Structure 1
Amino acid sequence: MSSSEKLISQAFIQAQKILPQHKLSRLVGKIAASEQPLLRTAVIYAFKQKYGIDLSIAEAEEISRYPSFNAFFTRALKAGTRPIDPEETHVVSPADGAISQLGTISAGQIFQAKGQSFSVEQLIADPQLAQPFEDGKFITVYLSPKDYHRVHMPFSGCLTETLYVPGELYSVNQVTAENIPNLFARNERMVCLFDTDLGRMAVVLVGAMIVAGIETVATGKVKPTGHIELQQHALQLEKGDELGRFYLGSTAIVLFEKNKVEWSAQLTANSEVQVGRQIGQTI
């Protein structure tokens, strides 16, 4: 990285520390939820053009069919667009996007980026619930603005707990991953915990700057409270079922216990993935 690039990156980091992250994100959320026809159409069209959104694979191909930007952003895809790998021993991607990192949780630490890690206990925000994942496996999937923004089950399981964890709202990208310590364990997030045939599994939906909301099938859209909220559930979800969605993009982190899965050998940081495609194999 050149000296000018380093300066730009540092300025970007400092700006996020100064900006009112939550107020800005909630303001964007109000605009995204607006059903005012001119505003809605203008925002959707501009976003579609900027990021090259392919609506030919969406259930609704015409912009006019979306009552708000939120509806457009969390759009459903046509049936069969994301077939789910049927092999019972295969773990599949929870989202469309790119792998940020993947590997083993070593000494309780999850690798974030060069020089940066965070603990599984910090991520889950409950020592007892985090304990099963010590020395287990993790995979972090980043959803860019152009991606499909529903999160699906990587493996069948029964949802037993959700924890809403308040936090900051830093942008999630390579620059912040390399420069913000404990990034994913600092940002606002929803932790979803499951009982599976492989033991415990977690899917963590991590918020980010201007992410105007996180929603799960068990809790509905999250209402920030400023404190950790633990809810109990008994909801069976099959591999490929929708688990939740982001109102603007961010990151999904999947955790398994030790000696339960191996990630596919061809996957590395920056590998592109799609919902339903194999990313791992049970042991």
Structure 2
Amino acid sequence: MNDNALPRPGWFKRLVAQEDLNFLLTNRVPRIALTKLMGRFSRIDSPVLTRLTIAAWRLFTPLDLSEAKHTRFRSLKDCFTRELKPGARVFDARPDVFASPSDAIVGATGVVERGQVYQAKGFPYATEELFGPTQDVSAFEGGRFVTLRLTSAMYHRFHAPADGVVEHVTYLSGDTWNVNPVALKRVERLFCLNERAVVRMTLSSGHAIALVPVAAILVASIRLHFLDVLLHIGRKGANEMPCKAPHVKGQEMGWFEHGSTIIVFVPPGFELAEGIATGVQIRAGQALLRRLP
């Protein structure tokens, strides 16, 4: 008998139905229009409206503001992009450690093979397409990638994973598909379709690395401090921004204005740090990768 003809248990059918509903509600909608609307709403300066919105937000997410530097916000954006109390995130100081740039849930991990990586099982995409037509991705062939997913309730700022110099940023405007696991299993090459920035950095060890922040529905703005610019979906095409911005490990690089994904690329010579695996929740500063001796 064909396995597909076997009756499915009730929990399986309920799971599929929930995934279908999740996908419809977060993707089969006017994504860009809703994202622009959310951007305007999040900037409304009203402490009362902000408190009410945060209270509603907490009904659906495990939002924890106990580590926030301030807990009274004038707008929803202020809450999304909140700073933490000093010392709330300690970065692993060992020189061979590549730290996580953000709080996140670890998604797909693996090795770049023939210029391809995976967003989910059975869904490959090309590094060349992700990085854009102007970028040379040969440095990462045979190296590792790690996908870090930030949920809406998480701390949304991201930091330098190691000492080094940011030398170039490519900003690519795009769509705003949801980047949750349900969408990653259904939309091919999703990360290559969405708005994203490619941050190229050379570490003090000489290794070339890349951080690729990817925006999503309701979040289509990426702030990079060292360029003093807000990147958003109004910037069409590939925007090339050469720079020379030294960073020390743990230094704040920028933020998302809601929650999304950062894809980390390193060249050969790195391995996953102990305990790093798909589904694990980590904090900014925790060891993500280790440089091999």
Partner of 1:86: 93
Measured in 1, the distance between the counterparts of 2:65 and 2:179 equals 25
Change (3 A) 1:5 1:49: closer
Once residues 81 and 181 of structure 1 are traced to their aligned partners in structure 2, the CA distance between those partners, rounded to angstroms, is 37
**Residue ranges of structure 2 left out of the alignment (5+ in a row):** 1-10
- For 1:1-283, what aligned pairs fall within 5 Å after superposition? 2-10=12-20, 12-13=22-23, 18-60=28-70, 62-63=71-72, 66-126=73-133, 128-196=135-203, 197-219=205-227, 220-224=229-233, 225-259=235-269, 261-283=270-292
Do the aligned partners of residues 54 and 10 (structure 1) sit closer, same or farther apart at CA in structure 2, a change above 3 Å counting?
Answer: closer
**In the alignment, is the contact (CA less than 8 A) between 1:99 and 1:142 conserved in 2?**
yes
- Taking a change above 3 Å as real, the CA distance of residues 137 and 19 of structure 1, as seen in their structure-2 partners, is same
Aligned CA distance change for structure 1 residues 84 and 265 (closer, same or farther; 3 Å): closer
2:60 partner SS? helix
Q: CA deviation at 1:17?
A: 5.4
Distance in 2 of aligned mates of 1:272 and 1:246: 18
The code of the aligned residue for 2:287 comes to Q
TM-score by structure 1 length? Answer: 0.92
Whether the 8 Å contact between 2:220 and 2:232 is mirrored in structure 1 is no
Identity %: 27
1:74 and 1:128 mapped to 2: Cα distance? 30
Amino acid at match of 2:61: Y
Change (3 A) 1:79 1:15: closer
SS in 1 for 2:232: coil
Runs of 4+ in structure 1 displaced over 6 angstroms? Answer: none
Check the 8 A contact 1:121/1:131 in 2, yes or no.
no
Q: Which has the higher helix share?
A: 1
What whole-Å deviation, never above 9, does each CA across 1:68-97 have from its counterpart, x for those lacking one?
Answer: 111111111111111111111111111111
Cα RMSD over matched residues? 1.8
Taking a change above 3 Å as real, the CA distance of residues 146 and 163 of structure 1, as seen in their structure-2 partners, is same
Alpha-carbon distance, 1:2 to partner: 2.6
Query: CA 1:252/1:128 → structure 2, altered by over 3 Å: closer, same or farther?
Result: closer
Name the amino acid aligned to 2:113.
Answer: S
The amino acid across from 2:176 in the alignment is L
SS of aligned partner of 1:56: coil
Separation in 2, partners of 1:246, 1:204: 12
Superposition deviation, residue 256 in structure 1: 0.8
Contact conserved, 1:103 with 1:263, CA < 8 A, in 2?
Answer: no
Aligned to 2:8: none
| Structure 2 letter corresponding to 1:34 | I
Aligned partners of 1:120 and 1:134 also within 8 Å: no
- Work out whether residues 155 and 240 of structure 1, in 8 Å CA contact, stay in contact via their aligned partners in 2: yes
Q: Structure 1 pair 192/265, CA: closer, same or farther in 2 (3 Å)?
A: same
Q: Aligned equivalents of 1:160 and 1:178: distance in 2?
A: 33
CA contact (8 A) 1:28 1:212 kept: no
Structure 2 length-normalised TM = 0.89
In 2: Cα distance, 1:18 partner to 1:48 partner = 25
Aligned equivalents of 2:184 and 2:108: distance in 1?
Answer: 10
Does the Cα contact within 8 Å between 1:96 and 1:275 map onto a contact in 2? Answer: yes
- Unpaired runs of 5+ residues, structure 1, are none
Say if 1:18 and 1:45 are closer, same or farther in 2 by CA, change over 3 A.
Answer: closer
- Larger Cα-atom Rg: 2
The one-letter code sitting in structure 2 at the alignment partner of 1:50 is F
Q: 1:156·1:239 contact (CA, 8 Å) conserved in 2?
A: yes
Point out the more displaced range, 99-108 or 9-18. 9-18
